[in-house]
Amino acid sequence: MKSLLLKAALLAACSYAGITAGATGTTHECSRIVEDAARLACYDQAFGKAAPEPAAAPVSAPAPTPTPTPATVAVAAAAATPASAPAKPAVAPTEDFGFKPAEVERKKEVVEVKPEEPNSISARVTAVETRQDKFIATLDNGQVWSQIELDTRVRLAAGDTVTLRRAIFGSYLLIGPQGVATRVKRRE
């Protein structure tokens, strides 16, 4: 429905422009300006779109302004835009790529600061229990870890120092005193 209304409005605008240009047999003087910014400024001036006023402008009686000609508009636009610096379009940050605007705004509203978690910890084993050829180790920091893969090369005893580190896909490895790693899961 929106596209149908848009097409109808565009067709009406084009036919109106064609009638007015065709009736007079002339084109608007702004169409002869080559520089894009100057041409846009000329059309804005000719058809009543006012340029934005500075926020800190003092309020006073408006002074009469002369109607700019295309040549003066082109000169003013060329002075405002340096030729050596091409205009760069505004680019959205890449971390928001793929999010809808509402999701980006929601993400900006909820800022949660999480402390950075370590990639590994070392602890001393206080107790070891074996179930179905897999161990359950209790550490001196109160954590309890169970072995989730059968690897008999890792043998633990109370008093051993082990290292737990992050692995891929959110899994964890326990590296025993023999230097051999096995996958584990935290129970408590």
Return d(Cα 178, Cα 175) in angstroms, integer.
Answer: 8
Bigger pLDDT: 120 vs 151? 120
Tokens for 107? 């993400």
Give yes or no for residue 150 having a pLDDT over 80: yes
**pLDDT tens column, 81-138:** 555 555 555 555 567 677 778 777 777 766 666 677 788 999 999 999 998 889 999 9
Return d(Cα 114, Cα 110) in angstroms, integer.
Answer: 12
Using a pLDDT cut of 90, give the percent of the chain over it: 27
Map out the domains of the chain with their CATH numbers. Answer: 22-51+67-85 (no CATH), 120-186 (2.40.50)
Return d(Cα 21, Cα 34) in angstroms, integer.
Answer: 20
Return the amino acid letter for 3.
Answer: S
- CA distances for 158 relative to 2, 8, 121, angstroms: 73, 82, 17
- CA distances for 164 relative to 35, 156, 160, 178, 187, angstroms: 65, 13, 13, 14, 14
**pLDDT tens column, 34-56:** 888 888 888 888 887 655 555 55
pTM for this entry: 0.40
